[in-house]
């Protein structure tokens, strides 16, 4: 009996030791990082920029896997349904967790319930631009001008339910304006539309082409949607300085499946934040109109919850439906 007891104790101790070693060994094999879009886009570029520094810290390869389709929902569902072991992650923008599950019927996932936040990666301000020939010089001037022309001015978006569409609706509601929505197929046509004067207003994320037109005076940059002045456009006032409480910015982050252990999440967060602290990566992000931003998992969780509440309210109150 004593011998059996000793064997049982030894087996239990061995199990605890093996479990501890297994936990300490994470990661012990390559990690899949799913990208919800096709290669070459901003999300894909950022993910690939993180590969080398995170590999160096974690000691395992980060395998970028593009899984485009259904507006990003395919990669999100695959991640939500993956094993919660830290070996399948997804690189997201705020729309994928805050608006897609509401707007897209049958999206198949919940942006809060089905994921474990790892950390922020970057932010990008939404820019308020108008045609350079419009007789306004600042945001207040545009609001006054639009109020004198209710229902006569147009604004562009990259499509019904796009983040630019929602950001503009939030702006119009905050300013008490009535404008005509003209949806286009993608961001590039919206830029051409405001340059040609087909529309008067565009709220969208920055691009190299847009910056060049702002510099030339063909476009006027009136404000940024970030809570504070953007490091990318330090001379441009925030929209909230005229419309208190307004906030609209694109941001990007890493998520794991819900149920992933806090220890694994903490290890990934450490590697991610270390990568984001490198000047080389920060500079690379700046060239794409992005600012590196780190966070704790809990800070990201709070941010996701706030976004779901903010944009869900805009969608409901503006009665936005995507068929």
- Residue 183 shares a structural domain with residue 103: no
- Residue 159 shares a structural domain with residue 297: no
- Judge whether 60 and 78 are in contact, CB under 8 Å: no
What CATH number should be reported for the domain holding residue 155?
A: 3.40.190.10
Rounded distance between C-alpha atoms, residue 162 and residue 105, angstroms: 15
- Indicate whether 282 belongs to any domain: yes
Give the residue from 204, 196, 197, 194 showing the smallest Cα distance to 171. Answer: 204
Is 320 a residue whose pLDDT tops 70? Answer: yes
- Structural domain that includes position 170: 127-241
Last residue of a domain, one of 222, 241, 260: 241
Secondary structure class of 94 (helix, strand, coil): helix
Token representation of residue 72: 């990003």
% of the chain residues with pLDDT over 90: 86
Strands (E), 13-136: 31-35, 62-66, 88-93, 115-125, 127-131
- Residue 96 shares a structural domain with residue 159: no
- Indicate whether 55 belongs to any domain: yes
Last residue of a domain, one of 241, 276, 296: 241
For the purposes of burial, counting CB atoms within 10 Å of the CB of 286, is it exposed (0-12), middle (13-18) or buried (19 or more)? Answer: middle
42: left (phi over 0), alpha (psi -120 to 50) or beta: alpha
- Residue 54 shares a structural domain with residue 92: yes
Q: Structural domain tally of the chain? A: 2
What CATH number should be reported for the domain holding residue 67?
A: 3.40.190.150
Q: Which pLDDT does position 24 carry in this prediction?
A: 56
- Judge whether 276 and 294 are in contact, CB under 8 Å: yes
Q: Which pLDDT does position 2 carry in this prediction?
A: 46
Q: What are phi and psi of 179, to 5 degrees?
A: -135, 165
Secondary structure class of 28 (helix, strand, coil): coil
Query: For residues 323 and 236, which has the higher predicted lDDT (pLDDT)?
Result: 236
Q: Which pLDDT does position 313 carry in this prediction?
A: 95
**Cα distance from N-terminal residue to C-terminal residue, the chain:** 71
- Residue 166 shares a structural domain with residue 254: no
Q: Per-residue pLDDT averaged across 146-167, rounded?
A: 95
Model pLDDT for residues 27-63, shown as the tens digit of each residue: 999 999 999 999 988 899 999 999 999 999 999 999 9
- Residue 104 shares a structural domain with residue 147: no
- Judge whether 97 and 132 are in contact, CB under 8 Å: no
- Judge whether 179 and 201 are in contact, CB under 8 Å: yes
Secondary structure class of 202 (helix, strand, coil): strand
- Residue 233 shares a structural domain with residue 138: yes
Rounded distance between C-alpha atoms, residue 282 and residue 179, angstroms: 38
Confidence of residue 91 (pLDDT cuts 50, 70, 90): very high
Predicted TM-score (pTM) of this structure: 0.87
Mean pLDDT of the chain: 92
Last residue of a domain, one of 241, 266, 285: 241
Is 153 a residue whose pLDDT tops 80? Answer: yes
- Residue 223 shares a structural domain with residue 134: yes
- Residue 269 shares a structural domain with residue 179: no
């Amino acid at each position: 009996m004593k011998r059996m007891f000793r064997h049982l104790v030894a087996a239990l101790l061995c199990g605890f030791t093996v479990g501890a070693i297994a936990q300490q060994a994470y990661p012990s094999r390559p990690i899949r990082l799913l990208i919800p879009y096709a290669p070459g886009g901003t999300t894909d570029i950022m993910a690939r920029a993180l590969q080398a520094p995170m590999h160096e810290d974690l000691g395992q390869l980060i395998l970028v896997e593009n899984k485009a389709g259904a507006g990003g929902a395919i990669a999100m569902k695959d991640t939500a349904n993956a094993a919660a072991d830290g070996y399948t992650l997804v690189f997201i923008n705020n729309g994928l967790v805050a608006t897609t599950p509401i707007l897209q019927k049958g999206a198949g996932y919940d942006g809060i319930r089905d994921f474990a936040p790892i950390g922020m990666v970057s932010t990008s301000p939404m820019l308020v631009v108008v045609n350079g020939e419009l007789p306004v010089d600042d945001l207040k001037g545009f609001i006054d001008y639009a109020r004198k022309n209710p229902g006569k001015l147009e604004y562009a978006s990259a499509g019904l339910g796009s983040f630019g569409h929602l950001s503009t609706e939030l702006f119009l509601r905050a300013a008490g304006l009535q404008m005509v929505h003209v949806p286009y197929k993608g961001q590039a046509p919206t830029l051409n539309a405001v340059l040609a004067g087909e529309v008067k207003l565009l709220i969208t994320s920055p691009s190299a082409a847009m910056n060049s037109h702002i510099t030339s005076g063909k476009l006027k940059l009136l404000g940024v949607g970030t809570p504070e002045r953007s490091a990318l456009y330090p001379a441009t006032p925030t929209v909230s300085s005229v419309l208190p409480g307004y906030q609209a910015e694109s941001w990007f982050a890493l998520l794991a499946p819900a149920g992933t252990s806090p220890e694994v999440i903490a290890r990934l967060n450490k590697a991610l934040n270390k990568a984001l602290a490198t000047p080389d990566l920060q500079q690379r992000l700046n060239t794409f109109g992005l600012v590196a931003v780190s966070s704790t998992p809990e800070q990201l969780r709070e941010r996701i919850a706030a976004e779901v509440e903010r944009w869900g309210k805009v969608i409901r109150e503006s009665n936005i439906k995507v068929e």
